[in-house]
A and B are shown apart, each in its own frame.
Chain A
Amino acid sequence: MTIVSYIFLIIGGLFFLLGGLGVLRMPDTFNRIQAGTKATTLGAFSIMIGVAFGAAAVGEWTWIPKLLIIIVFIVISNPVGSSAIAKATYQSKNIPDNLVQDDLKDRGESK
């Protein structure tokens, strides 16, 4: 049980590392958000599962439902937050010039 917990914790840490690396290496805001969101969601997911196994290994069963709820809230709020940042980026005219297609431009200035 403890070993499984360590494996999940290491996988989670690895995804966080990759996410950080992605934020550093990607060339523009949208791609940075993409790397950041995905990696942190699965990283947090994996770390929570690791903590759940670790808690179960020492008999702390009441931790598991709390960790499940934390996972649910992270999975709901993380993409919403990144969408909000992306929308704000677009509206502040901070648009990268490497887009091959931009359908938002055709929408007009209604909103």
Chain B
Amino acid sequence: MKYVTTFIALLLVYLLLAGFTVDEVILGSIVSVVLTLILVKRLNFKVDWKFPIKLLKFLFVYIPVFIWKLILANLDVARRVLSPKIPLNPGIVKVKTNLKGDLGKLTLANSITLTPGTLSIDVEEDTIYVHAIDVKGKTESENQANISGPFEKILGGIFE
């Protein structure tokens, strides 16, 4: 199952880059098989029957929210950059996460970086250190609700 998923992902990337012709499908399959055999031991993910549902959730729930937040973040940056005196109240805050897997944490950290006014600096066990351009909350849990709340909920359903 893991082999098949890895193979399909590699072949898909190859074909999207090279184009759908018979030659490319044959060559891409050979390359993908070799790469799958090399890579599969080093990959750490589980595939089960829920995988397609999770993928659909990722594509149709997470990605739209993410793009919307990215646009908001850019408008926020634009507002700050164009104001005569830049409004700043920066600080480095701790954010706890419930996500267990490395991939989940990576996605969460990346999402935090691309949301308005925050930049994740380091991930350590279950803590993400975040630089916030404007620290609003007084306590740790308030900051957590502000920074990672919306993504934590969505990603929790996808990565556990």
- Nearest residue (CB) in A for B74 is A42
Given A42-B70, A102-B91, A103-B92, A65:B121 Cβ within 8 A: no
Residues of chain B within 8 A of A76, CB atoms compared: 110
With a CB–CB cut-off of 8 A, which chain A residues contact B93? 101, 103
User: Is there contact, CB below 8 Å, between A99 and B92?
Assistant: yes
Chain B interface: which size bin?
A: 35 or more
Whether A83 pairs with B91 at a CB distance below 8 angstroms is: no
Within 8 A of A (CB), among B11-64: 13, 16-17, 19
Residue of A nearest to B131 (CB): A30
**Minimum CB–CB distance for B19 against chain A, Å:** 5
A56 CB to closest chain B CB, in angstroms? 15
A37 interface hit (Cβ, 8 Å): yes
Cβ of B19: which chain A residues have Cβ within 8 Å of it?
A: 62
B121–A38 touching, CB < 8 Å: no
In the bound complex, do residue B77 and residue A83 qualify as a contact, i.e. CB atoms below 8 Å apart? no
The interface bits of chain B over 66-96 (1 if a CB of A lies within 8 angstroms of the residue's CB, else 0) are 0000110110011011100010111111100
A31 in contact with B16 (CB, 8 Å): no
Count of chain A residues with a beta carbon within 8 Å of a chain B beta carbon: 44
Interface contact B110-A38, CB-CB below 8 Å:
no
Chain A contact residues, majority secondary structure: helix
For A42, list chain B residues within 8 Å (CB): 70-71, 73-74
Query: Which residues of A35-72 are within 8 A (CB) of B?
Result: 35, 37-39, 41-42, 45, 62, 65-66, 68-69
Question: Does A98 interact with chain B (Cβ within 8 Å)?
Answer: yes
When the two chains form their complex, are residues A83 and B86 in contact, meaning their CB atoms are under 8 A apart?
Answer: no
Q: Which residues of B contact A (CB under 8 A)?
A: 13, 16-17, 19, 70-71, 73-74, 77-78, 80-82, 86, 88-94, 106, 109-110, 113-114, 117-122, 124, 129, 131, 133, 135
25 CB-based A-B contacts, threshold 8 Å = A15-B78, A18-B81, A25-B81, A26-B86, A30-B90, A34-B77, A35-B81, A37-B119, A38-B74, A38-B77, A42-B70, A65-B16, A65-B17, A69-B13, A75-B110, A80-B110, A83-B109, A83-B113, A83-B120, A86-B120, A86-B131, A96-B90, A98-B88, A101-B92, A101-B135
